[in-house]
Amino acid sequence: MDVKEVLSSEPFTFIIGPARKKFFVNANLISVSSPVLEALMKGKFREANQKEAFLEDVEEDTFVRFVEYAWTGTYTPPPPLYLVESAGARENEEKMPALAVEQPPSIWEARSAASSLERSPTESPESPPVNPIHNLLMGPAAAKPCFSRNKLGTSQIARLAPFQDLVYREPHNRIRPPPTSKNFSDAQDFSGIFLCHAQLYVFGDKYNAEDLKGFSAHRLHQTLATFTLFPGRVCDIVVLVQYIFDHTLDSPDEPLRRMISNYCAWNIILFSKDKGFLEFYEAGGPFTRDVLICLTRRL
């Protein structure tokens, strides 16, 4: 992206959400990040002539983070919400450093879990697929099975990779985000953080911002992988599940659905004790189907 072109391009007005909040952004910067928005701003549409577009179904904070990502290569999630003011919880958070997650390679690529299972453990990895977004979910990088090997064979364990061992790789030439923060008590509501990543994924899917889509999926996975699932915070996951299944393509292979279904399958014992989760699960539909598919891979 040429800096001179970005700085010299005319501003474009986006009117966001039901409140019709106006944001004035650099047209060339947005064009690089989203071909769909580029066509809206520079094509033969009325919006291009008026230099103004109304995106009614986009959250203001989501759009701001999209612009932040276009400028900097990363975005800032909201902090966790403290439902109960706990001096002890805050003191622990201040004393303990943020959990440093292993940083992936700079080139974002993926392979499907199905492809990884077809290879024997001694085979070398295949080349990245042409369409990495469709095959976001990776196979195990160094499996740490929840079941002992004397009860289940290697091939059986590999059928459903432990969630924390799944790998998502970031888009290249992007600034590494800060380490994922760790939650220390059930007084910390992480639903806003989860939704931030999921909303950016949905935005990227709708407006063909493929780099943003992959990056937000990577960050959601990292956040879930380091999240301590206190019984009192299962509700945060239920909120995330509802959003994902309301806003993504109905397919077990849809990357975000596959991610959250895998997460729920690996934590199904804890989830089965939560009334809110059971009510949602008993309603049936695609989520129940997708979790069942993940659970059968354990058998």
Say what the pLDDT of residue 253 is. 85
Residue 123 has pLDDT above 60, yes or no: no
Identify the band that residue 170 occupies on the pLDDT scale cut at 50, 70 and 90: low
Domain assignment of residue 211, yes or no: yes
- CA dist., res. 172 & res. 211, Å (int): 9
pLDDT of residue 93: 47
Cβ-Cβ contacts under 8 Å for 296 (sequence gap 6 or more): none
pLDDT of residue 284: 85
197: tokens are 């990543």
Q: Rounded mean pLDDT of the chain?
A: 77
pTM for the full predicted model:
0.73
33-42, 57-66, 170-179: the lowest-pLDDT one: 170-179
- What is the pLDDT, as a whole number, of residue 175? 64
Tokens (6 digits) for 190: 């992480």
| 41: in domain | yes
Number of domains in the chain: 2
Q: Domain of residue 52: give its range.
A: 3-57
Query: Which percentage of the chain shows pLDDT scores above 70?
Result: 66
Tell me the three-class secondary structure of 196-215, residue by residue: HHHHHHHHHHHCCCHHHHHH
Q: Is 73 inside a domain boundary?
A: no
One domain for residues 21 and 154 = no
Query: Do 163 and 45 touch, CB atoms closer than 8 A?
Result: no
Q: Give the model's pLDDT for residue 2.
A: 65
Do 52 and 116 lie in one domain? The reply is no
Residues 132, 228: one domain? yes
E-strand ranges in 9-136 read: 11-16, 21-26, 52-55, 81-82
Q: Tell me phi and psi for residue 53, to 5 degrees.
A: -140, 145
The one-letter amino acid code at 11 reads: P
Confidence (pLDDT) at 171? 60
Q: Give the residue-averaged pLDDT of 31-49.
A: 92
DSSP letter at 142?
S
- Please, how many CA atoms are within 13 Å of residue 165, restricted to the half-sphere of its CB? 16
pLDDT above 80 (res 63): yes
The confidence score (pLDDT) of residue 22 equals 96
Is 251 domain-assigned? Answer: yes
How much is the pLDDT for 87?
44
Q: Annotate 9-32 with b (16+ C-beta within 10 A) or e (fewer).
A: beebebebbeeeeeeebbbbbbbb
Report yes or no on 206 lying in a domain: yes
Task: Say whether both 28 and 106 belong to one domain.
Answer: no
**Is there a contact between 230 and 184 (Cβ–Cβ < 8 Å)?**
no
Quick check: is 42 in a domain?
A: yes
DSSP annotation of 175: P
Of 123 and 177, which is predicted with more confidence? 177
If asked whether residues 50 and 103 sit together in one domain, one would say: no
Other C-beta atoms lying within 10 Å of the C-beta of residue 97: 10
109 & 235 share domain: yes
- 48 and 124: one domain? no
In this structure, the answer to whether residues 106 and 202 fall within a common structural domain is yes
CB 261 within 8 A of CB 241: no
Q: Are residues 41 and 105 in the same domain?
A: no
Q: How confident is the model over 15-27, as pLDDT tens digits?
A: 999 999 999 999 9
Residue 74 resides in a domain: no
> Do residues 226 and 180 touch, judged by C-beta distance below 8 A?
yes
Same domain membership, residue 122 and residue 48: no
The secondary element (H helix, E strand) that includes residue 188 is: strand 188-189
Structure confidence at residue 181 as a pLDDT band (50, 70, 90): confident
pLDDT tens digits for 133-156? Answer: 333 333 333 333 332 333 333 443
pLDDT in tens, 255-278: 999 999 999 999 999 999 999 999
Higher pLDDT residue, 9 or 217?
217
Look at residue 83 and tell me if it is in a domain.
no
Do both 143 and 16 map to the same domain? no
Residues 266 and 150 in one domain: yes
